[in-house]
């Protein structure tokens, strides 16, 4: 006989059929129960479902391997996590500053490249009237 693995779709179908048959048999046997027994069974079922339902908890602090959760060792966590946060914040600030400097450098390189490849002499850019003319051209 062929054994079915737990991840086999055929196994899932067999389990579904067994579950449907069990449900039908239980429904048929419960149809003739007195009202008070049916009420107590419904309460018990609701209680069991509430207990079996997985509860989600928010993890306020990540757990590191080797550090206990709620028992001792909290002193290490009290020092380690804020320090790690401060270091990460400083690292992000340094990277943002470096990115801003790189953008400014790239802008100046682009401007210098445009000036050097243009046919207009550099002295024209220094003329105040030329700046006013450029502004009027940009408004059109």
User: pTM value?
Assistant: 0.33
Does the pLDDT value for residue 19 go beyond 80? Answer: yes
Per-residue pLDDT, 1: 46
**Considering the chain, what percentage of its residues have pLDDT values greater than 70?**
76
Q: Are 67 and 76 in contact (CB under 8 A)?
A: yes
Torsion angle of the four alpha carbons 69, 70, 73, 77, in this order, in degrees rounded to the nearest 10: 70
Q: How many CA atoms lie within 13 A of 21 on its CB side?
A: 6
Other CB atoms within 10 A of residue 11 CB = 13
Query: What is the model's pLDDT at position 44?
Result: 87
pLDDT at 134 over 90: no
Q: Each residue of 67-122: pLDDT tens digit?
A: 555 555 567 777 777 888 899 999 999 999 999 999 999 888 887 787 777 777 77
Q: What is the pLDDT of residue 91?
A: 95
User: What's the rounded mean pLDDT across residues 52-59?
Assistant: 65
DSSP 34: -
CB atoms inside a 10 Å sphere around CB 67: 15
């Amino acid at each position: 006989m062929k054994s079915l693995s737990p991840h086999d779709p055929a196994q899932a179908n067999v389990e579904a059929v067994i579950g449907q048959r069990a449900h039908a048999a239980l429904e048929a046997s419960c149809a003739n129960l007195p009202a008070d027994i049916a009420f107590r069974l419904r309460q018990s079922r609701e209680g069991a479902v509430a207990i079996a339902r997985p509860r989600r908890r928010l993890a306020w602090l990540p757990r590191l391997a080797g550090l206990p959760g709620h028992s001792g060792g909290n002193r290490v966590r009290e020092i380690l996590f804020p320090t790690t946060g401060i270091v990460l914040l400083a690292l992000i600030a340094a990277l943002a500053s470096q990115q801003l400097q790189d953008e400014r450098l790239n802008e100046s390189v682009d401007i210098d490249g445009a000036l050097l490849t243009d046919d207009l002499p550099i002295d024209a850019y220094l003329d105040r009237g030329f700046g006013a003319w450029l502004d009027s051209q940009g408004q059109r």
